Structure 1
Amino acid sequence: MKKQIIILVIILVSTKGFSQDVNVFFNKTNTFFETYVSNGKVAYSKVYENQEGLNELLNLAEAISVSKNDAKNYQAFWINAYNLSVIKGIIENYPTNSPLDNAGFFDKTKYSLAGKNITLNDIEHKLLRAQFNDARFHFVLVCGAVGCPPLINKAYLPDTLDAQLETQTKKAINGDFLRVNTKKKRVQASQIMEWYKGDFTMKGESEIDFINKYRTEKLEGKYKLSYFPYDWKLNKQ
């Protein structure tokens, strides 16, 4: 009985510590984004001048443990960790005009996060897309370029994550992610939809079906879909 009580106490203490660590990370991430992000753009020059806050966040993230069994915590953590790591990657190469100007930005440079030594591509493709099959991730993972959906000035949080995913997807589909010509029945989409077509056509849906799920002004009739070039210029203020 004593052993069982001791084990239970250890579990409760460790769980409380985990919860506190994750909450501290989310709170500090929220403050960071509120400070340095505005209208979807990042004040990289200000972050570069004062890197302490960003480094503190990534140090916190290194020690956190998350499990995909706790899906909302897991997803919120990795979305924030991705967006912070992109900013870190830009700062490490600052000044720069584009993330693509830096070799291996997405597939070679590694970050120590949640006990893993991991690249940005690993976070996006292995830890999020492959595990949850949710196309909405494409509207919250921000790669440091103008062509990305805008970075919000708040952290993604477990309790509000689904609403945040919905909001950002709707903003994109009703915004710059699409260029619609109703007279000619043509729609151009960001190349994100071309690169990840499988994510937008799950369960037998077409890309137009996905668009109409979130678009206020539906694309009625047969629209011809094409894609416009991705803008890789840095999303700086």
Structure 2
Amino acid sequence: MKKQIIILVIILVSSIGFSQDINGFLNKADVFFKTHVVNGKVAYSEIHKDQSDLNELLKIAEVVSVSKNDAKTYQAFWINAYNLSVIKGIIDNYPTQSPIDNAGFFDKTTYSLAGKNITLNDIEHKLLRAQFNDARFHFVLVCGAVGCPPLINKAYLPSTLDSQLEAQTVKAINGSFINVNAKKKRVQVSQIMEWYKEDFTMNGMDEIDFINKYITTKLEGKYKLSYFPYDWELNKQ
């Protein structure tokens, strides 16, 4: 009986610790994004002057524990961790004109997150895309460039994650992500859709089907699809 009580206490303490870690991280991330992001643009200059909040956030993220069994919490953590790590990568190389001006920005530089030393590409491709078939990730993982979908000024939360994924996808598809010429039946889209074509053509869909799922004015008839060049300029205020 005594042994069972000890085990129960350990489980309860571990659960409380996990809850505090993830909730503390999400709450502080929400404050950080609200403070430093306006209209999808990041105040890198101000963050660079005082990096304490960013460093504190990433310190908390080091010890957060998340499991794929709790998919919403897992996804919310890694989306926020990705976006914060991009900002950290920019700050560590500041001033810079573009994330790709810094060698290994996405595939070599590692971050200590949730007990892992991991690159940005690993977060996107191994922890999210490979685990969940959801093209909407492409509209919330923000790479630090103008060509990315806009960064929101709040954290992604488990309780609101699906609606946030949906809202950002709708915003992108009805915004700068595509250019439609209805008269000529042509549509130009971001190179994201070219690079990750397999994500936008799942379950028998093609790219136009995906667009029509979210666009306000549907693309009726046969449209010719092409891609416009990605803008790698820094998404700074």
**TM-score of the aligned structures, taking structure 2 as reference length:** 0.99
CA deviations over 1:74-123 (Å, ceiling 9, x no partner): 00000000000000000000000000000000000000000000000000
Q: Partner of 1:212 in structure 2?
A: 212
Q: Partner of 1:46 in structure 2?
A: 46
Distance in 2 of aligned mates of 1:3 and 1:186? 69
Distance in 2 of aligned mates of 1:222 and 1:60? 50
Q: Partner of 1:201 in structure 2?
A: 201
Q: Partner of 1:22 in structure 2?
A: 22
Q: Partner of 2:235 in structure 1?
A: 235
Distance in 1 of aligned mates of 2:133 and 2:117? 23
Give the RMSD, CA atoms, in angstroms: 0.5
Distance in 2 of aligned mates of 1:216 and 1:13? 49
Q: Which consecutive segments of 4 or more residues in structure 1 shift more than 2 A?
A: none
Distance in 2 of aligned mates of 1:5 and 1:75? 33
Write the mapping of 1:14-163 to structure 2, written as runs, cut at 5 A. 14-163=14-163
**SS of 1:189 mapped into structure 2:** strand
**SS of 1:180 mapped into structure 2:** strand
Distance in 1 of aligned mates of 2:76 and 2:4? 33
Distance in 2 of aligned mates of 1:12 and 1:205? 46
Distance in 1 of aligned mates of 2:153 and 2:99? 20
Identity %: 82
CA deviations over 1:102-149 (Å, ceiling 9, x no partner): 000000000000000000000000000000010000000000000000
**SS of 2:235 mapped into structure 1:** coil
Number of matched residues?
237
Distance in 2 of aligned mates of 1:59 and 1:20? 14
Once the two structures are TM-superposed, the CA of residue 166 in structure 1 deviates from its matched residue by: 0.2
Gaps of 5+ in 2: none
CA deviations over 1:141-172 (Å, ceiling 9, x no partner): 00000000000000000000000000000000
**SS of 1:142 mapped into structure 2:** coil
**TM-score of the aligned structures, taking structure 1 as reference length:** 0.99
